[in-house]
């Protein structure tokens, strides 16, 4: 376990990185940063527009720069984008600068949680199930590879999940 005051949340789209992350930050009295929100704010446009204008490579370069900057802070809860773990240098940054907390979720729960989402470019299109299954195949092992702790969703709301996540962290997260 990385003895760090930083908590980095990784996991697939719809796992609850933002909603649970906000609860964790409030519980531990730490600032919360959603990396995707910061990228949009600083770029003055949406992630979908960045994908459209610069492609995935352009977005990933911006993501890497922002991750590098925010991960250097001391004492934050940082929710990464679902694809941040794809780049080896991002995985190294996450592992070396904080405790990595994976939020896991199965495709069925993702489909339920994301049924009204029309903004995420990586799951756009008609075959949402197929996209999510493909992303799970490509990324789940990367999340698990760098995770200090893994928290699995149970098809529950945030009011039930957040206390379970806090209990797990309280047992294992050694902040220095």
Total domains in the fold of the chain = 1
Q: Please indicate, yes or no, if residue 43 is contained in any of the structural domains.
A: yes
Interior/surface letters 67-80, b for 16+ CB within 10 angstroms, e for the rest: beebbeeeebbbbb
pTM: 0.88
Q: Is 126 annotated as a binding residue?
A: no
Q: Is 14 annotated as a binding residue?
A: yes
Give me the CATH number covering residue 44.
Answer: 3.40.50.300
Structural domain including 13 reads 7-170
**Mean pLDDT score of the chain:** 88
Q: Is 17 annotated as a binding residue?
A: yes
Q: Is 98 annotated as a binding residue?
A: no
Q: Cα separations (Å) of 67 from 57, 93, 106, 148?
A: 15, 8, 26, 18
Q: Please indicate, yes or no, if residue 127 is contained in any of the structural domains.
A: yes
Q: Is 13 annotated as a binding residue?
A: no
Alpha-carbon distance of 13 to 15, in angstroms, equals 6
Per-residue model confidence as pLDDT tens digits over 114-150: 665 565 555 566 777 788 888 889 999 999 999 999 9
Q: Is 104 annotated as a binding residue?
A: no
Per-residue model confidence as pLDDT tens digits over 80-101: 999 999 999 999 999 999 999 9
Q: Please indicate, yes or no, if residue 1 is contained in any of the structural domains.
A: no
Q: Is 120 annotated as a binding residue?
A: yes
Alpha-carbon distance of 137 to 142, in angstroms, equals 10
Q: Please indicate, yes or no, if residue 176 is contained in any of the structural domains.
A: no
Q: Please indicate, yes or no, if residue 145 is contained in any of the structural domains.
A: yes
């Amino acid at each position: 376990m990385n003895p760090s005051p930083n908590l980095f949340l990784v996991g697939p789209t719809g796992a609850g990185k933002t909603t649970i992350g906000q609860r964790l930050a409030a519980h531990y009295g730490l600032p919360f940063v959603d990396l995707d929100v910061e990228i949009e704010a600083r770029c003055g446009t949406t992630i979908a527009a960045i994908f459209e204008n610069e492609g995935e490579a352009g977005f990933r370069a911006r993501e890497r720069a922002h991750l590098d900057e925010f991960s250097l802070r001391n004492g934050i809860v940082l929710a990464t984008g679902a694809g941040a773990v794809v780049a080896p240098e991002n995985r190294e940054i996450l592992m070396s600068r904080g405790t990595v907390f994976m939020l896991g979720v199965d495709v069925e729960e993702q489909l339920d949680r994301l049924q009204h989402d029309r903004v995420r470019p990586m799951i756009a299109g008609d075959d949402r199930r197929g996209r999510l299954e493909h992303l799970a195949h490509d990324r789940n092992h990367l999340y698990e590879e760098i995770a200090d702790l893994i928290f699995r969703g149970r098809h529950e709301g945030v009011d039930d999940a957040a206390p379970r996540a806090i209990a797990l962290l309280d047992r294992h997260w050694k902040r220095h």
